[in-house]
A and B are shown apart, each in its own frame.
Chain A
Amino acid sequence: MKTQELITLLANGASAVPAHTPARRLAVATGIGIACAAIAMLGLLGPNPELARNLQYPMFWLKLGFTAATAAVALFSIARLSRPGVRWSHARWMLGAPVLFVWLVALVTLADAAPVERVALVLGATWRTCALNIAALSVPLLVAILWTVKTLAPTRLRIAGAVGGCAAGALAAFVYAFHCPELEAPFLGTWYVLGILIPTVVGALIGPRALNW
């Protein structure tokens, strides 16, 4: 085949391409993923019966804010990583900013607490299941996000996989927060972070194969 032939073939009848396709596709994938995770959470775990009362505690809002902020930065990052030649590295540190803030609050909480209470602040009542539940809820999100990223054009596949996994984990943690009864920063900084890290590592491991185009 001559290159000239190929060029004619590609150009012939090429239709217009709508602008902002990557952002739109990622928004759709995220919406579908959140809906699946929310249905799974409501069906399998159920909402926290204390939810209405928890709305008045700032820690509940820190929980939502931390997961939402991490998800927002990760989604912004994955949108950039899905487009060739677009710089992302300068936004790298922002991914860690919400976690650092939670760790800071956690340290203050632990420093204020009596030494005997500290272990209970970290473990809460649900430490055995928290990270695993978040990882389980992140499955539909991870599939939807990586699937979409593959239809775009990521060029650094391992990083894109990891950041996609981080977005999936943070969104799953956001959904899980409506079930979770815990209201302490040390718990959040340990088990929520671990729950987000699981899909992040999975994404990094499967990225090079799953995202190849």
Chain B
Amino acid sequence: MRETEDRLRGLMVHALAGDVAAYHALLEEAAAHLRGFFRRRLPRAPEEVEDLVQETLLAIHNKRHTYDAREPLTPWLYAIARYKLIDSLRRAHSHEAIDASDHDWEASSSLADDEASVVRRDLHKLLDGLPERQRLPIVYVKIEGLSVAEAARRTGMSDSAIKVGVHRGLKALARRIRESP
């Protein structure tokens, strides 16, 4: 527990300083923790677990400026996960009560990770709905891995327009994911 906290926090501190590899590792480990967290609480709705994992990862990304390196990281992570869980239950008017007990763990863990990680949404379909000034920066910088300057050259947009486009685009994406059924 203590060990996990220290490791994740170390990764997050590096990630906030701009270390992409540390950030990637952090998100991967966070995804595994989140999967367990949501499975325990939604034992009868395994198909919703991966949706929530993705929604929470996007929220972690879009709200990472609210993490203060002087505070522990795991309470921050789980507070976001809990917020997203309650929010989704409220939106869905779910008939399923939150199951706070940890006993139903086995019922859902039979679902293989690979199976679970494919969800109904298609990234490219979601991206197609974005305006070009957000879609292109995300495709070039985030998917193709170009630098901001290269993306700016290719699109004829300014550097700051690319950065703003990525930022707003990811926020719009988070909104779309929330609103998709």
Q: A155 — nearest CB in chain B belongs to which residue? A: B83
Question: B76-89 vs A: 1/0 string, CB under 8 Å?
Answer: 11111011000100
Number of A-B contacts (CB under 8 A): 119
CB–CB B143/A84 < 8 A: no
A5 CA / B117 CA spacing, docked (Å): 10
CB–CB B31/A19 < 8 A: no
Please give the residue numbers on chain A whose beta carbons come within 8 Å of chain B beta carbons, in ascending order.
1-22, 82-86, 152-153, 155, 212-213
- A-facing residues in B97-154 (Cβ within 8 Å): 117-119, 121-123, 126, 138, 141-143, 145, 147-148
A21 CA / B66 CA spacing, docked (Å): 7
- 7 tightest A-B contacts by CB? A85-B75, A16-B18, A84-B79, A85-B79, A11-B24, A1-B123, A21-B65
CB–CB B31/A84 < 8 A: no
- Starting from the known contacts A153-B63, A153-B80, A155-B79, 15 additional A-B residue pairs (CB-CB under 8 Å) come to A1-B126, A3-B57, A3-B117, A7-B57, A11-B27, A12-B141, A13-B20, A17-B65, A21-B65, A22-B65, A84-B75, A84-B76, A85-B71, A153-B59, A155-B82
Q: Would you give the shortest CB distance from B163 to chain A, in whole angstroms?
A: 7
CB–CB B83/A84 < 8 A: yes
Known contacts A3-B57, A6-B57, A8-B24; is A84 also within 8 Å of B18 by CB?
no
Q: A24 — nearest CB in chain B belongs to which residue? A: B65
Q: Would you give the shortest CB distance from B83 to chain A, in whole angstroms?
A: 4
Q: Would you give the shortest CB distance from A168 to chain B, in whole angstroms?
A: 21
Interface residues on B, range: 35 or more
Partner of B170, one of A10, A17, A85, A152: A10
Known contacts A14-B23, A15-B18; is A2 also within 8 Å of B83 by CB?
no
CB–CB A213/B163 < 8 A: no
CB–CB A14/B15 < 8 A: yes
Residues of B within 8 A of A8 (CB): 24
A108 CA / B67 CA spacing, docked (Å): 46
Q: Would you give the shortest CB distance from A191 to chain B, in whole angstroms?
A: 36
- For residue B92, CB closer than 8 A to chain A, the reply is no
Residues of A within 8 A of B6 (CB): none
CB–CB A7/B28 < 8 A: yes
Question: B33-75 vs A: 1/0 string, CB under 8 Å?
Answer: 0000000000000000010011001110101111111011011
Most A CB atoms within 10 A — which of B119, B142, B145, B148? B142
Residues of A within 8 A of B126 (CB): 1
Please give the residue numbers on chain B whose beta carbons come within 8 Å of chain A beta carbons, in ascending order.
15-18, 20, 23-24, 27-28, 31, 50, 53-54, 57-59, 61, 63-69, 71-72, 74-80, 82-83, 87, 117-119, 121-123, 126, 138, 141-143, 145, 147-148, 163, 166, 170
CB–CB B82/A2 < 8 A: no
CB–CB A85/B76 < 8 A: yes
CB–CB A9/B71 < 8 A: no
Q: Would you give the shortest CB distance from B23 to chain A, in whole angstroms?
A: 5
A213 CA / B72 CA spacing, docked (Å): 22
Residues of A within 8 A of B122 (CB): 1
Q: A19 — nearest CB in chain B belongs to which residue? A: B69
29 contacts across the A-B interface (CB closer than 8 A): A1-B122, A1-B123, A1-B126, A3-B50, A3-B53, A3-B54, A6-B57, A6-B123, A10-B58, A10-B61, A11-B24, A11-B27, A12-B20, A12-B143, A15-B18, A19-B16, A21-B66, A22-B66, A83-B71, A84-B80, A84-B83, A85-B76, A85-B79, A85-B80, A86-B71, A86-B76, A152-B63, A153-B59, A153-B80
Partner of A12, one of B50, B54, B72, B142: B142
CB–CB B123/A5 < 8 A: yes
